[in-house]
Amino acid sequence: MDILKRLQEHSRNIPEQPAIVSETEQLNYRQLEEYSNALASYLTASYGKSKEPIVVYGHKNVFMIVCFLACVKAGRGYCPIDVSVPAERAAAIINEARPPVVLMPENAKFMAGESEPINLSQIQAICREGDAGPDADAWVKDGDTFYIIFTSGSSGTPKGVKISLGCLNHFLDWAVELGIPSKEKRGSTFLNQAPFSFDLSVMDLYTCLACGGTLWVMTKEMQGDYQRMFRLMEDSDVKVWVSTPSFADVCLADQKFAQKLLPSLRAFLFCGETLTNRTALQLQERFPKAVIVNTYGPTESTVALTEVKVDRELAVNENPLPVGRVKRGSAIEIWDEQGKAMPDGESGEIILMGDTVSTGYHQREELSRKSFFMCRRNDEVLRGYRTGDSGYLKNGMLYYLGRLDRQIKLHGYRIELDDIEQNLLRLDRVKNAVVTANERDEKITGLTAHIVYDRKVEDGRQEARRMKEALKEFLPEYMIPKRIRFLDSIPMTANGKVDRKMLQGAVR
Ligand code: AMP
């Protein structure tokens, strides 16, 4: 598959088919093509031919997609930043990405730093001027970066995962067949729930565009008001649902969330965190016409690379559910600590290899060397990635057991606990900080920060409120611990390490 060529075909064959639909606006395939071409021409004329990435800052405006495509047609990767990322953190990302320009297809307040900002009205004016656009020779090539997605990093600043056009195309060859065959997806409506700065959104955005479908985007605001969200969903005609299991759980809490609300729905595609048997069973009951697919993978291997259809038999008999079999073009091995491949059924680190593995972290050579490698399998040289996930294989089926480090998933968001701790230490008076995850029924439900101050705390509640407010400058909402405890000192184990178990136990 060549996604950019495919879009060119759609603009000729199905020009009037809506490609992106939001509550207030929509773009069809002809507009998507013409606008992205015009903007690509402008970018090349103004900033020259270079592979430096371009930052696209915004939320769910339909012009976000125009900007993404314009960047890659101008031969540059794009780096999406959602408006929910605080200014400090966005500035850190921009500092790493060093874009010549920041496209802002949303009327958001934002400091572009040294880079030149282009706002929505400027973007729209450029798009409507209608230049023919650079020819295909100028577009990003197979090995070039298509997008860079920044994800939580243990050092306290996010790290950018580079995904090439080749990785995306290989992912799409597989993803278009997930759940229901690609020909049944043609012209269908896909749900977009995740912000475009999370790689889960790649599963809905590009799979939908590859199938000539309509992407139905849901803003954060819509997701914050369920009654309104369900009312809008009723008219959406969504056939392919892509979200984290957490979001499906939130919807399931309302009895209205059933086939009657979404009569066209045929497939649930999940990724990013554990799909529980309970969620799968509830969905099967409420949506008898839909298949449920569990997929697994990190941003570093282009969204996902394993799949399993979760039917009733599997949901009743296998607990926890498997995460699937690996796609063609990829391979999975389980390694012990010495890097030795483990036999079937034995657990260790999940190692991914193949045609969707990232080319590394942007501007982070050392970090990239730790996690990425090249290897030879069956006379083929493959890129490989050490996931830090623990799991095992059984007859080709992958089972996920959890993390080997301090990365967690909270409501579908990937978070390094070290990242939060590093940012807590930036606040005044904080001498020491440890963050632990609160768990209920083996699911992470929230975060607690254990803090040592440089002086006695008079009013813990007030201080906690003050700290949360101060943290908003550095961290997105979902990374701010709900609970903050003040301690005189952090408990240590006999061998001098932070006693996280004890801290975690103290919260229950
Ligand atoms: P992200 O890069 O945000 O997609 O997060 C990747 C991590 O999410 C993986 O390394 C796993 O720890 C976790 N993950 C992804 N898919 C699944 C799944 N189907 N079940 C359980 N955990 C998952």
411-506 CATH pick, 3.30.300.30, 3.40.50.200, 3.40.30.10, 3.20.20.70? 3.30.300.30
- E strand map for 22-112: 26-28, 54-58, 78-82, 101-104
Amino acid at 433: A
Task: Could you list the beta-strand ranges (E) of 208-259.
Answer: 214-217, 238-243
Q: How far is the CA of 272 from the centre of ligand 1 (A)?
A: 4
Which residue ranges make up each domain of the chain?
1-9+27-163, 176-325, 329-402, 411-506
Residue nearest to atom 9 of ligand 1 (CA): 298
| Helices then strands, each counted (H, E), the chain | 17, 26
Calculate the dihedral angle through the C-alpha atoms of 97, 191, 294, 480, rounding to the nearest 10 degrees: 50
Which amino acid makes up residue 21?
V
What pLDDT sits at residue 134?
87
To test ligand 1's pocket by mutation, which of 149, 400, 417 has the most ligand atoms within 8 angstroms of CB? 400
**Length of the chain (residues):** 508
Superfamily in which the 329-402 domain is placed by CATH: Luciferase; Domain 3 (2.30.38.10)
Distance 296 CA to ligand 1 centre (A): 6
Listed residue (63, 137, 154) closest to 104, CA to CA: 63
With a Cβ cut-off of 6 Å, ligand 1 is lined by: 151, 199, 271-274, 294, 296, 298-299, 323, 387, 389, 400, 403, 409, 414
CB atoms < 10 A from the CB of 377, how many?
12
Question: In whole angstroms, what is the distance from residue 426 CA to residue 440 CA?
Answer: 30
pLDDT tens, N- to C-terminus, the chain (508 residues): 999 999 999 999 999 999 999 999 999 999 999 999 999 999 999 999 999 999 999 999 999 999 999 999 999 999 999 999 998 899 999 988 999 999 999 876 666 666 788 999 999 999 998 888 888 999 999 999 999 999 999 888 899 999 999 999 999 999 999 999 999 999 999 999 999 999 999 999 999 999 999 999 999 999 999 999 999 999 999 999 999 999 999 999 999 999 999 999 999 999 999 999 999 999 999 999 999 999 999 999 999 999 999 999 999 999 999 999 999 999 999 999 999 999 999 999 999 999 999 999 999 999 999 999 999 998 999 999 999 999 999 999 999 999 999 999 999 999 999 999 999 999 999 999 999 999 987 789 999 999 999 999 999 999 999 999 999 999 999 999 999 999 999 999 888 889 999 998 888 6
CATH fold match for the domains 1-9+27-163 and 176-325: yes
- The secondary element (H helix, E strand) that includes residue 484 is strand 483-487
How far from 402 is each of 78, 225, 269, 387, CA to CA, in Å? 31, 32, 21, 11
Which of 414, 419, 479 has most ligand 1 atoms within 8 Å of its beta carbon, as the pocket-test mutant? 414
Hey, whose CA ends up nearest to atom 8 of ligand 1? 272
How far does Cα 346 stand from its chain's mean position?
A: 29
**Cα 297 to ligand 1 centroid, rounded to whole Å:** 5
**What is the distance in A from the centroid of ligand 1 to the CA of 479?**
17
Dihedral sign of CA atoms 221, 227, 230, 232 in order: negative
Could you name the CATH architecture of 1-9+27-163?
3-Layer(aba) Sandwich (3.40)
3-state helix, strand, coil in the chain (%, to 5): 35, 30, 35
CATH of 176-325, one of 3.60.15.10, 3.40.50.12780, 3.90.1150.10, 3.40.109.10: 3.40.50.12780
Instruction: Provide long-range contacts, Cβ within 8 A and 24+ apart, for 217-226.
Output: 217/20, 217/21, 217/22, 217/60, 217/62, 217/192, 218/60, 218/191, 218/192, 218/193, 219/22, 219/23, 219/59, 219/60, 220/59, 220/60, 220/84, 220/195, 222/23, 223/193, 223/247, 226/250, 226/251, 226/254
Contact 170, 356 (CB under 8 A): yes
Q: Whose CA is nearest to atom 4 of ligand 1?
A: 298
CA atoms within 13 A on the CB side of 347: 10
**Whose Cα sits closest to atom 12 in ligand 1?**
389
Quick one: which of 470, 507, 502 has its CA closest to 88?
470
- Rounded to whole angstroms, what are the CA distances from 289 to 91, 241, 254, 268, 284? 46, 13, 19, 11, 8
Q: How far is the CA of 247 from the centre of ligand 1 (A)?
A: 15
State whether residue 392 is helix, strand or coil.
strand
Q: Which residues does 24 contact at the CB level (< 8 Å), separation at least 6?
A: none
- CA 386 to chain CA centroid, nearest Å: 18
Is residue 399 within 8 Å of residue 314, measured between CB atoms? no
Three-state DSSP at 329 gives coil
Integer angstrom CA distances of residue 68 from 33, 58, 111, 146, 221: 12, 11, 20, 9, 22
Tell me if 361 sits within 8 A of 367, measured CB to CB.
Answer: yes
Atom of ligand 1 nearest to the CA of 199: 4
Query: What DSSP string describes 418-471?
Result: HHHHHHHTTSTTEEEEEEEEEEETTEEEEEEEEEEESS--S-HHHHHHHHHHHH
